[in-house]
Amino acid sequence: MQGALISCILILSFVSPSLCFKRSNFGVETEESTYNVMNYGANVDGKSDDSNAFLSAWKKACEAEGMQTLVIPKGKVFMLKNLVLKGPCKATKIHIQLLGKIVAPTKDQWGEDKTHLITISKVNSLTIDGGGYIEGNGNTWWETCKKCSRPRLLRFSSCKDLSVSSLHITNSPGAHISINNCEHAKFINMNINAPGNSPNTDGYDISNSKNIVFEDSTISVGDDCIAVNRGCSFIYATRIICGPGHGISIGSLGKTKDYETVEEIHVKNCTFKGTTNGARIKTWEGGSGYVRKITYENIILQDSRNPIIINQHYINKISNNGEKSLQISDVTFQGFEGTCADEKAITLNCNNNGCFNIKLDQINIVSSNPKKKAQASCSNVHGRVGQVIPKVPCMLK
């Protein structure tokens, strides 16, 4: 009997994918498997399309029960095109270990679908980590295709209980990561990088999602480090270093005829280095909906051009004399310290309907240009001013 057991173990050790069993709290054994994309025909030359190998490994992991692991090995380079990893899965949890490097095709190599390099949809309890890289080859797009629609690198759609950490994502043709219709997601220790002059290369674009956390990350891009768009609530950004880029923004909102809402957004202990904006809320004229319960707290500034800005005239969509706009209320800017690039420290430019319950306190912003003095300006803003430098005499009660 003992000899038979040893033989069984020896046989299993040579089977691919590797298998093991874990006893659950209920005494039921569940299968745990590891699927290495190398075992499914990946070319690993960084030039041939490895999407089919990734898709085959994914299907095996997704269709199996229990905890499953998909491995993208270290020291290897894989080129992908329009990879779609779909759920729902039978697996209770899936772990993607991105240890190697994924590269996007150059502009001339993309097929007809130029939307996303990798889409992950309807997958729950997914973890992605490993310290690997995704390279977008955006430099082949930016000069020749500034105004055209450009691909994004990574999209999460309708996912729950998502954890993404310790990845390097660089040089996306468009935005780096899209998050749509997701709940309970964490993005931790991420490094997102593109040149400051690369067009519309947002770090994160979020829409119709809630309970999303960003922590301990560096984002250097050519647009918003984090853009929070319609339908978002309970978004938390903590210990983010942003710059270059356009700051951490709410919006833009109000472009469509839809009623758009954003609430419970909390940005804390973040740093803006050489950014075009810092803490920003931007809405189109003529939109409808609301932005409320927003907090920017304990922010370090280094040469940010617009450290604090509300702009309800982002784009004048229709001629309505400013009569219609999203409602902005319950916004707190607190604990800002550092320098603005010129005289613009605080700009609160609200629609004729006004912004309400806007709070400014414990703010000390000075100009890094010795020839200019930091200033504050505002219109149609109702709220309260505490200890603030520069002075804000234009706040309405």
Best CA proximity match to 344, nearest among 393, 302, 304: 304
- pLDDT tens for residues 177-217? 999 999 999 999 999 999 999 999 999 999 999 999 999 99
Q: Which residues of 149-188 are buried (b: 16+ CB within 10 A; e: fewer)?
A: ebbbbbbbbbbbbbbbbbbbbbbbbbbbbbbbbbbbbbbb
pLDDT for residue 316: 63
Is position 213 within any domain? no
From 95, 116, 176, 246, the catalytic residue: 246
Nearest Cα to 106, choosing from 152, 139, 154? Answer: 139
Whole-angstrom CA distances from 255 to 25, 229, 259 are 51, 11, 10
Of residues 97 and 314, which shows the higher confidence score? 97
Model confidence band, residue 148 (pLDDT cutoffs 50, 70, 90) = confident
382 is catalytic: no
Name the pLDDT band for 111 (thresholds 50, 70, 90). confident
Q: Which of 333, 249, 266, 255 is nearest to 289 (CA)?
A: 255
Q: Which range of residues forms the domain containing residue 348?
A: 224-397
The torsion defined by the Cα of 51, 57, 62 and 66, in degrees rounded to 10, comes to -150
pLDDT digits (tens, 9 = 90+) for 160-173: 999 999 999 999 99
CA distances (Å), origin 243, targets 2, 226, 336:
62, 11, 16
CA distances (Å), origin 240, targets 163, 237, 335: 17, 7, 15
Determine which one of 50, 223, 224, 330 is catalytic.
Answer: 223
Q: Is the pLDDT of residue 321 over 70?
A: no
Whether the Cβ atoms of residue 374 and residue 390 lie closer than 8 Å to each other: yes
User: Are residue 286 and residue 337 in the same domain, yes or no?
Assistant: yes
26 pLDDT band (50/70/90 cuts)?
very low
Judgement on whether residues 59 and 181 belong to the same structural domain of the protein: yes
Domain boundary among 140, 174, 204: 204
From 204, 238, 266, the end of a domain falls on: 204
280 domain residue, yes or no: yes
Same domain, 109 and 172: yes
Summarize pLDDT for 228-237 with one digit per residue, the tens.
Answer: 999 999 999 9
Q: How far is CA 172 from the centre of its chain?
A: 13
**Count of structural domains within the chain:** 2
Residues 179 and 246 in one domain: no
d(CA 391, CA 364): 10
Q: Are residues 175 and 55 part of one domain?
A: yes
8 part of a folded domain: no
Domain co-membership, 296 together with 168: no
- The DSSP H or E segment spanning 62 is helix 51-63
**Spatial separation of the C-alpha atoms in residues 366 and 370, rounded to whole Å:** 9
In the structure, what pLDDT confidence band is assigned to residue 319 with cuts at 50, 70 and 90? very low
Residue 38, domain member (yes or no): yes
Q: Are 200 and 262 found together in one domain?
A: no
**Catalytic residue status for 246:** yes
Asked if the structure places residue 296 within a domain, the reply is yes
Q: Mind giving me the DSSP string for 2-57?
A: HHHHHHHHHHHHT-SSEEEEEE-TTS-EEEEEEEEGGGGT---SSSSB-HHHHHHH
Residue 263, pLDDT score: 98
Shared domain check, 167 and 69: yes
pLDDT tens, position by position, 254-266: 988 899 999 999 9
**66, two tokens:** 């229990």
* Average pLDDT of span 32-43: 92
Above 70 in pLDDT, residue 8?
no
SS3 59: helix
335-368: pLDDT as tens digits: 999 999 999 999 999 999 999 999 999 999 999 9
Report the half-sphere exposure of 330 (CA within 13 A, side-chain side).
10
274 in the same domain as 126: no
Nearest-angstrom CA–CA distance, 287 and 326 = 6
Residue entry with tokens 């703010």? 363
Q: Assign 82 to helix, strand or coil.
A: coil
Q: What is the domain-level CATH number for residue 338?
A: 2.160.20.10
Same-domain pairing of 311 and 384: yes
Does 65 reside within a domain? yes
Residue that finishes a domain, picked among 174, 204, 234: 204
pLDDT for res 4? 47
In whole angstroms, give the CA distance from residue 228 to residue 242. Answer: 15
Residues 260, 198: one domain?
no
The answer to whether residue 212 is domain-embedded is: no
On whether both 381 and 286 belong to a single domain, the answer is yes
Note whether residue 6 is domain-resident: no
What region does 352 belong to: left with phi over 0, alpha with psi -120 to 50, or beta? alpha
